[in-house]
Structure 1
Amino acid sequence: MIYIQLFFSFLKIGLFSVGGGYAAIPLIQSEIVNGHGWLSMQEFTNLITISSMTPGPVAINSATFVGLRIAGLPGAVTATLGSIFPAVILVSLLSLIYRKYKGTTAIDTVLGCLRPAVVALITAAGLSLSQTALWGELPVSLSSVDWTNALLFLGAFFILRKWKWNPILVMCLCGAGGLISFLTGKFF
């Protein structure tokens, strides 16, 4: 029964995650945290962090991790297959259609209309993850801000925007900063 739930949960995520991995984060959260309760919001935030740092798409990495956590290796395989199955079918069909009709006004219009929806999904995911990283669970108040995470976030944002450092280096520096903060007490 759990394998069927894993397969169909990630099939749904794979089917409706238009725009790639980061756009799928709200769908993954809805299904994994809110729908089934397989992970807490804190575990989900950790999952997204790890899935973003490891090679491969976020949705597939998430499926593999959740499947492994819930039902071992068979669960990981089942969830991963559920996640990639819609993409394999849809990309195959869309490539045939795109090759036949590329450059037409209808295709350009459809692609243009999808862009704002994808940006909205990515923004919603970013806000949700920011809330969890900076405040933890609701309610949000100034006294509950995790100032270490806030400082690391602002530093990473500034370094990435101003100096365009390598994101992997910035993640490693933030990880080191978080480790130092943990070992020494806190920055603030």
Structure 2
Amino acid sequence: MKELLDLYLSFFKMGSVTFGGGYTMLPILKRECVEKKRWVSDEQVMDFYAVSQGLPGIIAVNVAVFIGYHVRRTAGGIAAALGCVSPCIIIISIIAAFLSNFQDNIYVKEAMTGVSICVVALILDAVLGLWKKGVKDKLGVAVCAGVFVLMEFTSVSPIPIIVGAALLGVSYKTLAAKKEAAK
């Protein structure tokens, strides 16, 4: 029971300071779940993020479920997910109750501007971390550049791009293994 409460509270803390989506959660998640609690490894976090991107729903919640499930199976997944979404529910409820008082407040507008700038820095940190873990060779650089171009300059859905990149990665590794075995 203590471990479930620990999962809930850890993800509650992360959820309460994660503005801007799942990628802004990555530096906090790595510090809390990889370095401090040692629930998962860096590689597992990257795998959870990769799979979460292809699933419906919020990336941060999906990753929380994966980590919670890894730690304490179904109950852990539920505890982590609830911890991740509880701060949002509380904050949205408070804002909804007082929305008319906040919408024209100059301090709230300026605070949100500051939060937006912070979100950009957190996403950049996450991108650099993902780059270091995921892009390991020339093929990785080429795939990353190709996906960026497709996403930025076309209207191609991310789903076939993700599937295509996965198939390319599997094909490349299979061919590399066959070449190595033939030596």
TM-score of the aligned structures, taking structure 1 as reference length: 0.86
Deviating more after overlay: 102-111 vs 65-74: 102-111
- 1:178 and 2:169 matched: yes
Alpha-carbon separation, structure 1, partners of 2:151 and 2:77:
34
Runs of 4+ in structure 1 displaced over 3 angstroms?
A: none
**What is the distance in 2 between the residues matched to 1:63 and 1:51?**
10
TM-score under structure 2 length normalisation: 0.88
Flag the 1:109–1:90 CA change in 2: closer, same or farther, 3 A: same
Greater shift, 145-154 or 12-21, is seen at 145-154
Q: Which runs of 5+ in 1 are unaligned?
A: 135-144
* CA RMSD after TM alignment: 1.8
Task: Give the aligned partner of residue 142 of structure 1.
Answer: none
Unaligned runs of 5+ in 2: 178-183
Given that 1:28 and 1:59 are in contact with CA atoms closer than 8 Å, whether structure 2 keeps it comes out as no
Equivalent position SS for 1:185: helix
Give the structure 1 partner of residue 146 of structure 2. 155
Residues 16, 103 of structure 1: CA spacing in aligned structure 2 closer, same or farther, 3 A cutoff? same
Identity %: 24
1:48 and 2:49 aligned: yes
Structure 1 counterpart SS, 2:156? coil
Give 1:73 deviation, angstroms. Answer: 0.7
Give the corresponding residue for 2:180.
none
Residue 45 (structure 1) shift: 0.8
Whether the aligned pair in 2 keeps the contact of 1:14 and 1:86 (CA below 8 Å) is yes
- Contact 1:133 1:146 (8 Å CA) reproduced: no
Contact 1:8 1:82 in 2 (8 A): yes
Aligned residue type for 1:55: P
Cα distance in 2 for partners of 1:98, 1:85 equals 19
1:140 match:
none
Aligned to 1:32: 33
Letter paired with 1:162: F
Match of 2:181 in 1: none
